[in-house]
Amino acid sequence: MKKFSKCLLVFVVLLCTTLAFSQSTITGKILGSDFNEPLPGANVVEKGISNGTTTNFDGNFTLKAKASTGELVITFVGYSSKTISFSGDQDLGTITLISSEVGLQEVQIIASVAVDRKTPVAVSTIRAAEIELKLGTQEFPEILKSTPGVYATKAGGGYGDGRINLRGFDSENVAVMINGVPVNDMENGRVFWSNWAGLGDVTSSMQVQRGLGASKVAVPSIGGTINIISKTTDVEEGGNLYTTLGNDGFKKFGVTYSTGLMENGLAATVSASKTDGDGYVDGTSFNAVSYFVNLSKQINDDHKLSFTAFGAKQQHGQRQNRHSIETFRDSERGRKFNSDWGYRNGQVLNSEDNFYHKPQISLNHYWTINDKTSLSTAAYASFGSGGGGGTGGDSSKFFLDNSDYRVGNLGTIDFDRIVDENITAGVNGSESFLRASRNDHKWYGILSTLKTDLTDEISILGGLDYRYYKGIHFTEVTDLLGGQYAADDANVNNPNNQAQVGDKIFYDNDGIVNWLGLFAQAEYNKDDLSAFVSLSASSTDYKRVDRFLYLDSDPLQESDNVSFFGYGAKGGANYNIDENHNVFVNLGYLERAAFFNAVFANRNNVDVNDDAENQKITSFELGYGFRGEKLSANINAYHTTWNDRTEVARFQLQDNTVAFANILGVGAVHQGIEIDLKYRATNQLTLTGMASLGDWRWADNVEGVEIFNEENELVDTVDLIIEDLRVGDAAQTTFALGTQYKFTPTTTFTIDYNYFANLYARFDPSDRGVAGPDAWEVPAYGIFDSAIRHGFKFGNFDAALTARINNVFDTEYIADAQDRGDSSAQSAQVYYGFGRTFSVGMKLNF
């Protein structure tokens, strides 16, 4: 027995020794080829088994391998996987993953993508995998809601009607760029996200640069810049099929195929999807078909061409009119209530809707002139067609408070009654009808950047940015609602117009913008210091053509050119104190031409404000960053002063009609502190957090604000007494907490909490003629979102299931509000946010 015990002991010791010696410790650092940046969160897995780890914030990893020799498989979304052999304890050194998309690095250069611990700006980046996990049925801007300084909502709740504010600035003053090409409207600076339905399917990464940003071209980055980088084409052949189902009939189907980089240097990717549903809000059904095409050609070692075309043709019902809190509570439909729709002969009909198609086409040429100099050029065009629906004639029949034309208490519009009355009117024409405000456009541009390295430390960049834009604005009759015609006398060339469906009414004019910008930038990078100085100048020419106010024979039908000169200067520096700590500073001053509506404020070709003041912006920012093995954190403070601001406010008058106010010459001060952090508690668990504390106020009062109705008629002139009042329409205080847990390398579970406070309602410009308190403060609210994604094998294919719930606890909250002048909840007109929504999707890669 003793002999057996001794043998057993020897066997156990030998077994443990063998196991100990069979294990290996493997270390290394993983970088991406695009900008030689660390890739935090890259997967490192021992081939053939589930043993693995992920990289930390500096791209470093340590893996306890089960065997003494073997292979590691390294993967990161957007990069080609790499397999590396190991033997015993080994430091693999620096491992560089190559981008899986052809031409992506060149696009990122044109788009001025910021680099961590190098570019001196406050920045947050969301990659394709996170977009895919968190988008679900949300509006595209909403995936940024956990970003410091961001407030994003669904607005009225129609498909694509979402909006985003950054540091208190709305989309008119937040530069949105897709592959480096500006997409803000050339006349008013606005961004309509419905034009980009399906963009989330083809986005490689989205980067928010807060403040003046790193963009070299002169863009309206007052609040910040949203840089969206679309996918190019994959290096390897393959594709995917995907589908998503969600609440309220949401259905989405899509397919993507890539040829891979072929022997002749050509690569192509094609993607298409179809989305439709009933909408969470009543009467907001939608349908959209989106498409994406990229063709890349490697001509030789020095020249590369890339052609991209994408867009979406969509139509959706809208909820344009806000209502009182009492109205929503009294309605059987609660927060889903919408007064802007009804039935005609049993079929849904919207009094307010939106339809648009805006394909964007670009051809990029990348030329490596020599090992120090390169030239990147993008020529692009977009053609917009569509607009927003509304009412004409006696619009009071469509108002909620007109119970004679409602089916039941707070019911839908009684279109059948309106049709009957129009039929009875006979030769007198339609008393009430439906129309659409069209905003078609043609837009052409070229953006070219030359970069050369003067020394190993100093680079200079310079280029031009030319844009031509023609906005075509008119109202057309879309439905006579049983009548014979719509009477309109707005056209002096046809004052007795008996308009039929498709005919123009109310107004018909063009806004023509010619823009030429030049820019230059010097960059310095040596050791731990990086810095830049950037100068830009732009010439903006406006012209207005009006075919309704002036006879065809009248030379005033076309205005003279009105020219404005703008310029800007900004600079910044980042210093890496050591491998953990860095600090940065940036500052800038820019003058931007007034918007088109500020020049033609009276909406005619005679009263031209050719002395309109440039908008003047001064910005200053300080930041600190920490990168540790487990913790990554940033804190920054900013101060932005904006003088001679151009503001076009859309709001509801007391009689519930829609009006627009041209607010010229107002100033504002936006300042605050932002914090964001990420903590990797374990290889499986990551915690995130964010806090944004803003103080945004109007700086002065404004006299002589002109208010126009939707028929382009001046209805009032008022003064605005708003000095030191808080800027509304965005939460000035936001917090976010998030957890991400990886049950396995292919199974991820997330919970996110977002809290919004100090949200002040938009004020009614027609009712701020005397000093008063801040607009009504909307009650603070917080919502939870959750998602899970599981990857698995489906035969020989890789597949993934994704499920998402937004507003998990069905919290009731007000997301948007307009103050009626008395700063009270009782009179405020509001949009409620969505209740609990969900989506389930599957993706099959081949």
What pLDDT digit, counting tens, does each position of 492-515 carry?
Answer: 999 999 999 999 999 999 999 999
Distances (CA, A) of 445 to 259, 391, 467, 686: 29, 35, 4, 43
Whole-number Å distance between alpha carbons of 88 and 188: 63
**What are the tens digits of pLDDT across the range 380-421?**
999 999 999 999 999 999 999 999 999 999 999 999 999 999
pLDDT of residue 541 exceeding 80, the answer is: yes
Band (740; pLDDT cuts 50, 70, 90): very high
Q: What beta strand segments (E) does 480-527 contain?
A: 486-488, 497-499, 504-526
Where on the phi/psi map is residue 687: left (φ > 0), alpha (ψ -120 to 50), or beta?
Answer: beta
Sign of the dihedral through C-alpha 424, 429, 432, 437: positive
- Tens of pLDDT, residues 254-284: 999 999 888 888 999 999 999 999 999 999 9
Structure tokens at 530: 């990086």
Q: Tell me whether residue 14 is exposed, middle or buried, using C-beta atoms within 10 angstroms of its C-beta: 0 to 12, 13 to 18, 19 or more.
A: exposed
Q: Tell how strand 341-344 and strand 412-414 pair up.
A: parallel
pLDDT at 21: 45
Summarize pLDDT for 190-230 with one digit per residue, the tens: 888 888 877 888 888 899 999 987 777 766 678 999 988 88
pLDDT in tens, 290-300: 999 999 998 99
| Residues 625, 581 contacting (CB under 8 angstroms) | yes
- The dihedrals phi and psi of 435, each to the nearest 5 degrees, come to -140, 170
Residue 15 has pLDDT above 60, yes or no: no
Question: What's the first-to-final CA gap in the chain, in angstroms?
Answer: 61
Q: How far is CA 32 from CA 81, 144, 625, 632, 710, in A?
A: 11, 24, 21, 19, 52
Dihedral sign for Cα 578, 579, 581, 582, please.
positive
Tell me the C-alpha distance between 641 and 222, whole Å. Answer: 10
Q: How confident is the model at residue 6 (pLDDT cuts 50, 70, 90)?
A: low
Q: Which of 34-38, 645-649, 657-661, 733-737 has the highest mean pLDDT?
A: 733-737
Average pLDDT estimate for 460-479:
96
Bridge partners (DSSP) listed for residue 706? 662, 717
Q: CB within 8 A of 390, min separation 6: which ones?
A: 320, 351, 352, 434, 435, 436, 437, 658, 710
Q: In this structure, are residues 211 and 477 in contact, taking their beta carbons and an 8 Å threshold?
A: no
Sign of CA dihedral 628, 631, 632, 635: negative
- Residues comprising the chain, all counted: 846
pLDDT digits (tens, 9 = 90+) for 154-190: 999 999 999 999 999 998 889 898 888 888 999 988 8
Model confidence at 375, pLDDT cuts 50, 70, 90, reads: very high
**Greater confidence, 662 or 521?**
521
Residue 176's CB: how many other CB atoms inside 10 A?
Answer: 24
- Whether residue 654 contacts residue 593, with contact meaning beta carbons closer than 8 Å, is answered with no
Give the model's confidence band at 764: pLDDT under 50 very low, under 70 low, under 90 confident, else very high: low
Provide mean pLDDT across the span 647-673: 72
Q: Considering the entire predicted model, what is its pTM? A: 0.87
Radius of gyration of the chain (CA): 29
* 158 Cβ neighbours under 8 A, 6+ residues apart: 194, 279, 281, 284, 286, 316, 317, 318, 319, 354
Query: How confident is the model at residue 829, as a pLDDT?
Result: 95
More confident residue, 770 or 132: 132
